Amino acid sequence: MPALQKRNVARQVGRLLVMPVKVLDVLWRRGIMDYYTVIGTYAMYAYEAAAGVVFDETTMATNDVDLFYTANKQMKFAQVVSGHRSMVEVLREADPTFDRNEDQRESAMNSQGFSIDFLRREEAEKFTEAFSISGTEGDIYPVQAKRPNKFLGSPSFEPVVIAVDGSMTMIRTIDPRTFMEFKEWMSNQKDREALKRNRDKLQSSAVKQLLAEGRLISRL
């Protein structure tokens, strides 16, 4: 399959961009990743690291990280994070230029256009109005994920990934079989942009191949 190739560890020590590694590292240190799971394209970095392969640029094309809130009830932000009033302020530890995207309030974006998108589970629909992560007005307002129960029922997958500068962090994401099935479903949604549906199909097929070859192991 042209979407992936075996990884030459000697030449490809660092694969991930520095910024997402910085962001995830801050969230781990602050205890916030105890409540979140990476979904979307960035999960593919976890799978290629575990499988020892490299996916091609078309399969990996994205400029944002999707974080899905997995806890049973809304996080008490003040109890988890000391010294900050909002999620935006926490992200500024990784890059001081992060700010909320006022056109998409579920996202924080830095000056280079790199985004962190926050998604919530279905139970949050019981709230009559959108709510911010920390309860402060200028913070992130998560949007509901598509088929959130699919993620909630998935075992976690947590490999270590390395950035191009040698820095490391752990990515907590969903089981590769869950990812494969979800991306296959997304690729068939007619209201989704054709370019994104094509990428969904590539990602589903690539992970399916790794599972079939035994390079990735599903716990489902």
Residue pLDDT, tens place only, 137-189 = 889 999 989 998 899 989 999 999 999 999 999 999 999 999 999 999 999 99
- Burial code of 142-179, b = ≥16 C-beta within 10 A, e = fewer? bbebeebebbbebeebeeebbbeeeeebebbbbbbbbb
Per DSSP, the three-state class of 119 is: strand
At 129 the pLDDT is: 58
Global pTM? 0.89
DSSP 28-50: HHTTGGGGEEEESTTHHHHHHHH
Q: Is the pLDDT of residue 2 over 50?
A: no
> How much is the mean pLDDT over the chain?
89
Helix (H) or strand (E) holding 144: strand 143-144
Q: In whole angstroms, give the CA distance from residue 2 to residue 209.
A: 11
**Nearest CA among 207, 202, 208 for reference residue 46:** 207
Domain layout of the chain by residue ranges: 4-211
Helix (H) or strand (E) holding 80: helix 77-80
Tell me the per-residue pLDDT of 92-126, one tens digit each, with 9 for 90 and over: 999 999 999 999 999 999 999 999 999 998 654 45
Give me the residues paired with residue 157 across strands: 173
